[in-house]
Amino acid sequence: MSEQFQDRRRALLELHVHLEGSLAPELLRALAERYGQPGVPAACLTPDGSRYLPVAGFAQFLERYKAVVSLLRTPRDYHEAALGLGAALAGQGVIYAEVTVGYGVMHRQGVAVAPVQFALHEAAAQVAQERGVRLLWQADAVRQWGVDAAWKALEAALRCGPGLGVVAFGVGGDETALPAGDFAPLLAAAAREGFGTTLHAGETGGAGSVREAVLAGARRIGHATSAGAAPEVLALMAAAGVFAELCPGSNVATGAVAWFEEHPLRAFLEAGVPCCLNTDDPALFGLSLRGEYDRAREGLGLLEAEERRMQLQALAACSAPMDMRADIGDRLVAD
């Protein structure tokens, strides 16, 4: 077996992947048919329906996201989405993923959260049994919809809790809409309940946005890209042990970085910030996690030892319960 082939089979962990952004084109088409909404795939997919169209900037991405999410309406829809994601992850060697689910979006669309979470938990059990991939869930609020809506999302997440696989809370959306500090009491409340905490920052906002997110108490930062050019923010993250969920391919797709080779991965590694690579919205952007690591090897000089260390750092930063963490650790070491 060649060394390259062994590399490609290596076990990976993913901490930043949105369920809604992982809907395969086939499932999007099926949902559109289910709900009589042919305009959604017509606007989102290539004419042959085989993949998503590229987005022109972050604003258009948010519009695209909204259109896709509008077709997720019932526990069955979410269950199918989770099975699809599980299959896609298994095909890339991913053994654990903490999957972000839009609780804020469900509230706004009038979808009852608990039955959906029950369906997701059932799907995760099926994925674990059939594919050996462990899925846990991060409930997500939307920054621009405000603090009150985010509290509602957190309360729903706490009601579901680890019994239904919910282990973390995050705030995504438009990081420039409201200061991160407004969400500090929520992050503290989530942490008190044993949840992991993540804020999206440094994707469309500057390094100051990442700094604010760290000071607001987030234990992980989604993207953190702009901190790569700010040594003092990297030093703050390293000193505070705040984890960076880097998403280079996504950043290229939304225009946050001009091209893959411009992503500041190496600055994070050299500053000692714990981090891993992630796909963010793999179906929407046509990405795979294995592909992201391969591109980082080729374009950003990522070394095999660094890739391995990132998996261990992701394990340390994940929100899985201890028994699952030990199991994942054993599989990483055996790999």
By the criterion CB under 5 A, which residues form the site for Zn ion? 222, 280
For residue 88, what are its two tokens? 């896609």
Residue of 80, 203, 245, 307 marked active site: 203
Taking the complex as a whole, the smallest distance from the CB of residue 246 to Zn ion amounts, in Å, to 11
Question: What CA–CA distance (Å, rounded) separates 332 from 107?
Answer: 37
State which residue, 107 or 200, has the beta carbon closest to Zn ion. Answer: 200
What is the nearest approach in angstroms of Zn ion to the Cβ of residue 309?
23
Q: What does the alpha-carbon distance between residue 156 and residue 93 come to, in Å, rounded to a whole number? A: 32
**Distance, CA of 311 to CA of 45 (rounded, Å):** 33
CA pair distance 56, 46, nearest whole angstrom: 15
Rounded distance, CA 291 to CA 41, Å?
25
Are the C-beta atoms of residues 222 and 243 closer than 8 Å to each other? no
Q: Which is nearer to Zn ion, 14 or 307 (CB)?
A: 14
Is the CB of 77 or the CB of 280 nearer to Zn ion? Answer: 280
Residue 63 designated active-site: no
Output the smallest distance, CB 191 to Zn ion, in A. Answer: 20
Task: Report strand pairing: 220-223 vs 94-102.
Answer: unpaired
Three-state DSSP state, 301:
coil
Q: What are phi and psi of 174, to 5 degrees?
A: -90, 105
- Residue 93 per-residue DSSP state: T
CB 43 within 8 A of CB 60: no
98 within 8 A of 139, measured Cβ to Cβ: no
Report the residue number whose CB is nearest to Zn ion.
280
- Among 71, 93, 65, which Cα is nearest to 284's? 65
d(CA 334, CA 296): 23
In the complex, the smallest distance separating the C-beta of residue 61 from Zn ion, rounded to whole angstroms, is: 10
Name the minimum Å distance from CB 134 to Zn ion. 20
How far is C-alpha 72 from the geometric centre of its chain's CA atoms?
A: 18
In angstroms, give the least distance from the CB of 247 to Zn ion. Answer: 7
* Cβ 74 to Zn ion shortest distance, Å: 24
Q: In angstroms, how far is CA 213 from the centroid of its own chain? A: 17
Q: Measuring CA to CA, which residue among 287, 175, 168 is closest to residue 224? A: 175
CB nearer to Zn ion: pick between 69 and 332 = 69
How many C-beta atoms surround the C-beta of residue 137 within 10 A?
26
- In the complex with Zn ion, the residue whose CB is nearer, 80 or 280, is 280
Nearer to Zn ion, 32 or 141 (CB): 141
Q: What amino acid positions are annotated as catalytic residues?
A: 203
